[in-house]
Chain A
Amino acid sequence: MHELTIATSLVELASDHAARHGGGNVARIDVRLGALCGIGRSLYFCFEPAARGTRCAGATLAIEEVPLTVFCATCDAVKTPKALYNFRCPDCGRPTPKVVTGREMQLVSIELTKPAASAKRRRPRTSRDRNPI
């Protein structure tokens, strides 16, 4: 159920950025999710209800999944464990608690529906605006 919390945080973050970049809506959101972040494609299911009524409504969500890799001090190399949560080097069998990739849960980028130039419209009006010569 915490997927909804994460989806809501994502929508808020993306909406904040959209507001800072011209105030348009969000057409696409790219996120990066590590294998260990405890949430995967279930984010797709929670995203649409979380986005409803926000700048992100109707946006496409794209998830890049990042595999688990760990650093084995014995082999002095980055390795891919045989299974998630089996923090042992697949080659030497020693415990390898140091995670290199797999914990990511990041908002990578957003694509806006309107060009950022529309921000101009939010410029405070001046007397020249009201009295064009």
Chain B
Amino acid sequence: MCKVCGCGEGEVRIEAAGGVPSAEHDHTHGRGHRHDDDLHFGHGPAGVTVAGMDQGRLVRIEQDILAKNASFADENRAFLDGLGILALNLVSSPGAGKTTLLVETIKALNGKRPIAVIEGDQETSNDAERIRATGVAAVQINTGRGCHLDAHMVGHAFESLLLEPGALLFIENIGNLVCPAGFDLGEAHKVVILSVTEGDDKPIKYPDIFAAADLMLVSKLDLLPHTDFDLEGCIEKARRVNPRIETIVLSARSGEGMEAWLDWIMARQG
């Protein structure tokens, strides 16, 4: 376990394409930790007076609790920007159809762009294998008991992926509508996927993730006639928690709406 950043703690495993865990890294993280940055520690003792307290014992800090994740995410973003890579962080509950959508998206793009995929799951490399079957490189991150990907894990996954300039990088987060909302991975956009079999009130039941996303994909449109899902109501609820959110309704199985999704991606990749 890394004593500096704690990485390797718990059960996180990053498996490269050959099924071989990535070599133990040297903890320079290529782009460097910032543990020695004086910016974090520049306030010095106190700076305020509290009655009955020795100034030397109270330390003003005023720092984001997830500052460490944020700094890893900044490094990831700078790395991706440098290569002109568009990274999308796909979030949804388990079973919303993220992997199926991803497979169909890769097929539809049909080699027009270099594509790489980072798959996050608690266990198994089933999803990465499904992606690799399309001919695209995929790295599987298993988080063990972890409920979300963080920027540090994703930064290490970059080491196992051959990322071509101008590529499209899909990061499929752990199936979870709660925890991934709070963790910036360095992506350009969070894309939340909600299937019509889940219920149209999910945006107000799990508002954090819909508030954090730039795009909502309503998936499994082909199943809509078999459900009571209120499509318009769902979109209205999503806009209530996030007035800026865009929406595309699609079915990876029937292909309906896929064109709009591909156009959305291409418009962002430039």
Contacts and interface: CB of A to CB of B under 8 A. Distances in A.
Contacts of A65: none
Contacts of B183: 2
A79 interface: no
B45 interface: yes
Interface string B117-129: 0000000000000
Contacts of A8: 6
B66 A9 contact: yes
B65 A105 contact: yes
B231 interface: no
Contact of A85 (B63, B67, B240): B240
Contacts of B211: 36, 85
A97 interface: yes
Given A38-B182, A97-B244, A111 B53 contact: yes
Interface string B156-186: 0000000000000000000000110111000
9 contacts: A5-B150, A6-B65, A6-B66, A17-B41, A21-B59, A106-B65, A109-B60, A109-B61, A116-B57
A37 interface: yes
Interface in A1-54: 1-2, 5-6, 8-10, 12-14, 16-18, 20-22, 27, 31, 36-39
A110 interface: yes
A1 B65 contact: no
A17 B65 CA distance: 12
A89 B68 CA distance: 34
B61 A112 contact: no
In terms of DSSP, what is the predominant structure of the interface of chain B? mixed
A1 B59 contact: no
Interface of B: 6, 35, 40-41, 45, 53-54, 56-69, 145-148, 150, 178-179, 181-183, 204, 207-208, 211, 239-244
A9 B181 contact: no
Interface of A: 1-2, 5-6, 8-10, 12-14, 16-18, 20-22, 27, 31, 36-39, 84-88, 95-97, 105-117
A84 B208 CA distance: 10
B69 A9 contact: yes
A38 B59 contact: no
A10 B60 CA distance: 14
A37 B182 contact: yes
Contacts of B65: 6, 9-10, 13, 31, 105-107
B149 to A, nearest CB: 11
A67 to B, nearest CB: 16
A14 B147 CA distance: 24
A95 B243 contact: yes
Contact of A84 (B58, B61, B63, B207): B207
Contacts of B241: 85-87
A14 to B, nearest CB: 8
A113 B58 CA distance: 9
User: In this complex, which of B45, B56, B61, B68 has the most chain A Cβ atoms within 10 angstroms of its Cβ?
Assistant: B61
